[in-house]
Structure 1
Amino acid sequence: KEKERKEKERKEKERKEKERKEKERKEKERKEKERKEKERKEKERKEKERKEKERKEKERKEKERKIEREKGEREKGEREKGEREKGEREKGEREKNRKRERRKRERRKRKEKERKEKERKEKERKEKERKRERRKRERKKRERRKRQKEMGEERHKNIF
């Protein structure tokens, strides 16, 4: 009887031990499952964050590119406008210079013409002066000859 009781106790003990081990195993499995689930969720959260970060970075870069493009277009427009204005300014300057040069040439031409005219008049005046002097000399010469001739005739009369 005692033997049976002991056997019964031993079996009961084994059964309890088995249940306890089974319980522990199930608990361990449950915890492992929870841990894996937690890791999976954490991984998903990180992936989501990474994608969001990439999306924001892409948007920021696109915005920067757009700003740079607009800035480039604006600068190009300003540069073209500046070059156009510079071209117009230089064209105006060239036109002014051409007019100035033309005026200078015309003034030089006019001065040269005036100088030549003055020289011609001076030459004419000198020529007239020379002719007048010559006529004066010739007249004096004629008068002197005439006087000498008369004097010669007078002398001839006196001699005879």
Structure 2
Amino acid sequence: KKQKEEKREKKRKEKRREKRNIKKKEKGRERRREKRKKRREKREKKIKEKRDKRTEKREKRKKEEKREERKEKRERKRKEKREKKRKEKREKRNDEERKEKSEKKRKEKREERKGEKREKKREDKSEKRKEEKREKRTEKRRQKRKEKRREKRRENSEKRKEKTEKRKEE
């Protein structure tokens, strides 16, 4: 009887030990699993951060490039405008010079045909006469204006005198 009891007790202890061992193994496995999981998560987080950084950098670079492109476009347009204006100015000046040259040539030909000196003298005389006439007219006008002003002043002074006399009489 005693032996049987001891045997049973031994078996029970054995079972308990096995259960404990199994539990310990399970716990160890669980711990290892957790550690693996944590490591994996850490690794994935790092990878994600790296990827995010890269995309951020790429986007930043793209933005910068776009801004640069816009700047260059603006600059190009400004340059083209400036160039266009310059070109137009140059063309205008050239046209004017060409016109002046052709006009000069025409004049010279005309003068050659008519006999320049005679023509010039005649022109000078008539110009002089015209100028004299003009001056006479302006002088006349000036004189008239002067006279009018004098007259007006005289009238005004007379009026003033009359007023003062009236006041004195009153």
Which residue of structure 2 lines up, in the alignment, with residue 93 of structure 1? Answer: 47
Which residue of structure 1 lines up, in the alignment, with residue 100 of structure 2? Answer: 146
1:66 pairs with 14, 20, 24, which one?
20
Q: Does residue 78 of the first structure (1) align with residue 40 of the second (2)?
A: no
For structure 1, the 5+ residue unaligned runs are 1-46
Which residue of structure 2 lines up, in the alignment, with residue 112 of structure 1? Answer: 66
Which amino acid in 1 is paired with 2:17?
K
**Range with bigger deviation, 119-128 or 129-138:** 119-128
Q: Using the alignment, how far apart are the partners of 2:71 and 2:2 within structure 1?
A: 101
Q: Using the alignment, how far apart are the partners of 1:113 and 1:77 within structure 2?
A: 53
Which residue of structure 2 lines up, in the alignment, with residue 132 of structure 1? Answer: 86
For structure 2, the 5+ residue unaligned runs are 115-170
Q: Using the alignment, how far apart are the partners of 1:75 and 1:83 within structure 2?
A: 12
Task: Tell me how many residue pairs correspond in the alignment.
Answer: 114
Which residue of structure 2 lines up, in the alignment, with residue 37 of structure 1? Answer: none
Q: Using the alignment, how far apart are the partners of 2:45 and 2:110 within structure 1?
A: 96
Normalised to the residue count of structure 2, the TM-score between the two structures is: 0.59
Runs of 4+ in 1 over 4 A off after TM superposition: none
Which residue of structure 1 lines up, in the alignment, with residue 7 of structure 2? Answer: 53
Matched residue SS, 1:113: helix
Which amino acid in 1 is paired with 2:60?
E
Q: Percent of counterpart pairs with the same letter?
A: 25
Which has the higher Rg, Structure 1 or Structure 2? 1
Cα distance, 1:49 vs. partner? Answer: 4.1
Cα distance, 1:97 vs. partner? Answer: 1.5
Give RMSD over aligned pairs. 1.8
Normalised to the residue count of structure 1, the TM-score between the two structures is: 0.63
Q: Deviations over 1:75-113 (max 9, x none)?
A: 212222222222222222222211111111111111121
Q: Using the alignment, how far apart are the partners of 2:32 and 2:55 within structure 1?
A: 34
